[in-house]
Structure 1
Amino acid sequence: MLSNIGIPGLVLILVIALIIFGPKKLPEMGRAVGQTLKEFKKSTKELTNEVTEPIDDIKNEAKKVTEDK
């Protein structure tokens, strides 16, 4: 979806946002969006670790058992 916008479309969206929200509010909104994305990425990484760590532990246990035989 976003790949179809291009540079002119992106500039148009930024100009419209600047007109609607004003120059003072736009940086605040950008910071809020950045902070939200940062938290989302952190949560995703934590969730992935919660799932993969037990799987890795099981794999390591299985490897130890097969090495002992």
Structure 2
Amino acid sequence: MGGLSGWELIVVFVVVLLIFGPRKIPEVARGIGKALGSMRRLTAELQREINLAELEDPPKRIRPEGSSEAEPDAPVIRSTPPDSTEPRQK
């Protein structure tokens, strides 16, 4: 999966020449260059912001729901009372 070969580049250039004409090609190329430069700057800025966000607030470990680990200070809640050897009094 390489780039374009020599013949492919010539065909692309001829098609662009036919579509835009010889006077518009520099203007179109300038516009494409500006758009690519703007995209590169925006990508670099976004990557920089992501890196800063990771440094400020590192990701927390996420436990799956129903995990057996409880918070250390959390009270234990049981859905059924614990088994007792003593009979229940009425």
The letter of the residue matching 2:34 is: Q
> Normalised by the size of structure 1, how large is the TM-score?
0.71
More contact order relative to length (CA 8 Å, sep ≥ 6): 1
Query: How far has the Cα of 1:28 moved from its partner?
Result: 0.4
- Which deviates the most, 5-14 or 39-48? 5-14
| Alignment RMSD (CA, Å) | 1.8
Q: Distance in 2 between matches of 1:4 and 1:47?
A: 28
Runs of 4+ deviating beyond 6 Å = none
> Over residues 10-40 of structure 1, what are the superposed CA-to-partner deviations in whole Å (9 max), with x where a residue is unaligned?
1111012112211111110000000000000
Larger CA deviation: 25-34 vs 12-21: 12-21
Tell me the distance in 1 between the aligned counterparts of 2:34 and 2:48.
Answer: 21
Aligned letter for 2:19? I
Q: Which runs of 5+ in 1 are unaligned?
A: 60-69
More helix by share: 1
CA–CA distance in structure 1, aligned partners of residues 6 and 57 of structure 2: 48
Tell me which residue corresponds to 2:54: 55
Q: Which has the larger radius of gyration?
A: 2
Between the two proteins, the alignment pairs up a number of residues equal to 58
Give TM-score, length-normalised by structure 2. Answer: 0.56
